[in-house]
Amino acid sequence: MRSFSISLFGTLLCVSFSVSLGLAPAALADVHLPAIESDNMVLQAGAGPQLYGSAAPGEDIAIKYGHRQASTKTDNFGQWRVRLPHLKAGEKFDIEIKGKNTLDIKNVLVGEVWLCSGQSNMEFPLARANDHAKEIAQANHDQLRLFKVERRLATAPAADVQGSWKVCNPAAAADFSAVGYFFGRALSQDLKTPVGLIESSWGGTPAQVWTSLDGLEADPVTQKRYWVMAKEHLAKLHQMSETYDKEMADWKLSADKIAAEKSQLPAPPAKPSELEFPHAPSMLYNAMIAPLTAYTIGGVIWYQGESNANAADETMAYRHLFPALINDWRQKFGLPKLPFLYVQLANYEKREDANVRSPWAELREAQLLTLKVPNTGMAVAVDIGDEKDIHPKNKLDVGLRLERIALAEVYGRKVAFSGPIFSGMTVKGNQAICTFKYTDHGLKAKGGKLVGFTICGADKKFVAADAEIVGNTVHVSSASVALPTAVRYAWAGDPLNNLYNGADFPASPFRSDVTPEPAVVDLPVTK
């Protein structure tokens, strides 16, 4: 199946024809490989990872990897793919791929491959993190390989990404995702196996731009809110791109002529602001995820949500949008149980009054509710953010918390990995008794008295509450509330919070009075 795609970045307009694997037909029948298949790559252990590429239709492709061989033939579109079974973590070899020409991939490792994606807090580089000078100086890890996808936009699934695998060293690590680096380093050390990290991130981006049109159409809420307008929006961007490209070409021709005549050069055409930043649904999925979906990965870590934490209908829609993205990626990668681990938003900006809406608290709730999706895990970060900086510099703890989830939930290690998660509330007299999962050796308050709880009665007016740990429960009360009806904890952008479990993981913010979703027909369309 063929599709037309346009990729945009800076003043560059690239036009390509993509086919079923997302690779352009090879020029002059040469064997061609995607960027992700290159020197220093990591192949996913155990899953039978596939190699793929293009050549002339009907061409025989012979592959040597280590002491083993495989072969295949290209299809009618010139595409080929082959699985490499029984690869074991720790293997190292070169790969030779031969058709009418021969390509070599050097220094290949077999291990665990994780995709690191999201917005600015995933994009945040090691060079800006706490203790960055020391961390960068020590970032020599032959068993850790890094692939950073360059920023691109596309109105339809693109042919390939731009980037290359690098052995982790100070120069490569400095510009790489700090969260990804700390996650991968710890995972490699704990599993004693090679780890490959693929970073595909872009600051300031909402989740809908990372979700395919198919994924947005599959859910009734995301279909109405994002998908309805997406095709029209993408078509408009396509036309704007072509117009701008023609204007630039004409300007360059004029510039050459004017330079020869030694006349004053006019200003170049202004690039429309809409072509400078990804905001249309699926734009980043098309450009920076779709070309990777034929590559076998072991899991995803995700840090995003800030750009969806605004209007009430947006935070409510995120309850559908985030699971839709997860399910979409699993379908597109062909991995229905693909582990998807994510970071709940850190504390930032405001400590709203208990009775004033908190967009960040609502977005965290949507993330908490997403734990209902199988094979997901959430790292709480509400205790390690920065009230004045949306980009907190403590990325080490974020990476380590994600890694503990991976150890426990993906690799079967018997380790604590989660803080307390609210599981229910009962009322006894004037007390609300809150129960939790993941109490691991008991609940505790860090730094003194337990704080961050509010309570309300039938009037739904929340007031600051007294909270006491009793075994694995928290008893919440207020002298002004005779009969409690709801409890909230850490419910603000930058909330008070100090509830932990015995394994030293923080509790997730929660409210017992979860707001019901509006009917789909009442949701506005995002234009």
462 φ, ψ (degrees, to nearest 5): -80, 140
Cα–Cα distance for residue pair 212/20, rounded to 1 Å: 15
Give the ranges where 380-433 is alpha helix by DSSP (H). Answer: 396-405
**Is residue 299 helix, strand or coil?**
strand
In DSSP notation, 8-43 reads EETTEEEEEEE-TTS-PPPGGG--B--TTSSTT-EE
Closest CA to 177 of 103, 257, 123, 243: 123
Q: How many CB atoms lie within 10 A of CB 396?
A: 21
513 φ, ψ (degrees, to nearest 5): -95, 65
Tell me what pLDDT residue 23 has: 54
Burial of 299-314, coded b for 16+ CB within 10 Å and e otherwise, reads: bbbbbbbbbbbeeeeb
Q: Half-sphere exposure of 381 toward its Cβ, with a 13 Å CA cutoff? A: 33
Question: Does 435 fall in a domain?
Answer: yes
Question: Does 258 fall in a domain?
Answer: no
Question: Does 466 fall in a domain?
Answer: yes
Give the ranges where 279-344 is alpha helix by DSSP (H). Answer: 283-284, 312-333
Closest CA to 136 of 144, 128, 124, 145: 128
The label of the residue with tokens 């710890």 reads 186
Cα–Cα distance for residue pair 177/181, rounded to 1 Å: 6
Question: Does 507 fall in a domain?
Answer: yes
Query: Under a CB-based contact definition with an 8 Å cutoff, are residues 116 and 179 in contact?
Result: yes
Residue-range definition of the domain harbouring residue 455: 421-511
**Is residue 446 helix, strand or coil?**
coil
Q: How many CB atoms lie within 10 A of CB 105?
A: 20
Tell me what pLDDT residue 5 has: 37
Query: Under a CB-based contact definition with an 8 Å cutoff, are residues 183 and 205 in contact?
Result: no
Most distant CA pair in the chain, distance: 91
Question: Does 233 fall in a domain?
Answer: no
Cα–Cα distance for residue pair 15/152, rounded to 1 Å: 12
DSSP secondary structure code for residue 149 in this structure:
P
Tell me what pLDDT residue 262 has: 61
Cα–Cα distance for residue pair 487/333, rounded to 1 Å: 40
Question: Does 482 fall in a domain?
Answer: yes
Question: Does 245 fall in a domain?
Answer: no
Domain count across the chain: 1
Tell me what pLDDT residue 267 has: 83
Query: Under a CB-based contact definition with an 8 Å cutoff, are residues 339 and 409 in contact?
Result: yes
| Strand ordering across the sheet containing 3-9 | 12-18, 3-9, 153-154
Per-residue confidence in pLDDT tens, the chain, 527 aa: 333 333 333 323 333 333 345 454 444 579 999 999 999 999 999 978 999 999 999 999 999 998 999 999 999 999 999 999 989 999 999 999 999 999 999 999 999 999 999 999 999 999 999 999 999 999 999 999 999 999 999 999 999 999 999 999 999 999 999 999 999 999 999 999 999 999 999 999 999 999 999 999 999 999 999 998 888 888 888 888 888 889 888 888 887 777 766 667 778 888 888 777 888 999 999 999 999 999 999 999 999 999 999 888 899 999 999 999 999 999 999 999 999 999 999 999 889 899 999 999 999 999 999 999 999 999 999 999 999 999 999 999 999 999 999 999 999 999 999 999 999 999 999 999 999 999 999 999 999 999 999 999 999 999 999 999 999 999 999 999 999 999 999 999 999 999 999 999 999 999 999 988 877 767 777 76
Query: Under a CB-based contact definition with an 8 Å cutoff, are residues 118 and 325 in contact?
Result: no
Burial of 449-467, coded b for 16+ CB within 10 Å and e otherwise, reads: ebbbbbbbbeeeebeebeb
Cα–Cα distance for residue pair 282/75, rounded to 1 Å: 28
Kindly state the helix (H) or strand (E) to which residue 185 belongs, with its residue range.
Answer: helix 178-191
Tell me what pLDDT residue 440 has: 95
Question: Does 413 fall in a domain?
Answer: no
215 φ, ψ (degrees, to nearest 5): -65, -40
